[in-house]
Structure 1
Amino acid sequence: MSQFTIEHTPADIVKIFPKASDLFKESRIDFCCGGARPLSDVFNEGNFDGDAVLNELNVAFENWQKEDHQVTDWEAIPHTELIDHIVHTHHAYLNDELPALGQFVTKILRVHGTNHPHLKELHHLYNDFKVEMEEHMIKEETEVFPLIKEYEKNQDPKLLTHIKEVNGDLEEEHASSGDILKRMREITNGFVPPADACNSYRITYARLADMETNTFQHVHLENNILFKNL
């Protein structure tokens, strides 16, 4: 592929060019939950300079193609292998990070909340996100993922119908969690700490940004590859 156009979807672009996720994140273009819409729709509905976004995207892609990259074709691997990757990489990350980062979010509210009132909303948002994702991951690991692995073995049409019904709920939960992340980014000025921020404040914002990146990639693999290819 030599050039991306407005007919491509963000999800398909990220499959080909993983680093596009960074550009989309900076531009606040959804490539995971709402990533299946063509860029023409995204540009029409949002306040975007579509030509500038496409130009930056294609220049970055052209430069990236000149480098030596080993990109995993997630669509080509078995569902079971993709599920194991999601669980051992993304779920494991969140299981470790959510409790630890929550302590930092609480700490900066306690210390800086008076002068930075948005930290109270951040605290509420973070804890909503934490509860949603923990319950979501439990549901995936105990109910949905085992069903997908079983379907990969026996290809039972009834089982597939059931999986797709359950997946609808999962994708709605993904959208809800994605909305929380977007709001957190909005009220924190893109996770950029204020000039008077202490080290804990800066660490909290940096870790929130890392969590956002990891979660968007996590949801992209599930919505746009695993669930889509059943």
Structure 2
Amino acid sequence: MSRTALVTGAGGGIGLATALRLAADGCRVVATDIKTSRPAELPDEVQYIPFDLRSGDLNQLLVPFDDGSLDYLVNAAGVAFFDRDGSALEADESVWDVTLGVNLHATRALIAAALPAIRKGQGRSIVNVASIAGTRGMDSPLDAYQVSKAAIVSLSRSLALQLGPENIRCNTVCPGSILTPMIEHLYVEDPSRRTNMEERTPMRRLGFPDEIAAAIAFLLSDQASFVTATDLVVDGGWSAQVK
């Protein structure tokens, strides 16, 4: 029997790459995103549900799993306001509300809603997408984003400890600078920004969404059957440096 997976943030970037990877691996995938248009890259066998994680009935996302079981949950939905986020000392409250609402609160709520189905599944694996921004400071603060991702790391560890006795694993992937739609426009507007980032990364390049998807697929899989409460950093060596 093929495994089932629910992937949020699948309208592009890491979420889309993960949905594609899991489908290629033989999973029955339900992909969701706030975007109303189905990504052209998704194969026909992937069900796509346009959905607002902040305001919708999360149980609607579980309806496609008609036997009541869910093997894999990937929380890849996230937002960042590069033009309005900044120091917490000069906070834009609306930015904090939306950023924490999507990146943290929606993730927690979906895990809680999906847990009965996960308990019935075979895979019993949850992966939350955080960021190295949640594990260290940044030259230019994006405090709402950083705090939301740090909270995801902490939440994942706590849930892993709580759910471990049930053989339910919960891990986090912490990407570095990845070429997703969220940041690509920044490099188009200012190519020197990309050059600087590449020069400061030990591997001298940026990452790609499918590289993060591969890490997520591993953590979900039975190959990682004894891996839980782990933060898997995928950043080309960035966070190993002393700046």
State whether TM-score is above 0.5: no
Structure number with the higher strand fraction is: 2
Higher relative contact order (CA 8 A, sep 6+): 1
Structure number with the higher helix fraction is: 1
TM-score (norm 2): 0.30
TM-score (norm 1): 0.31
Structure whose alpha-carbon radius of gyration is higher: 1
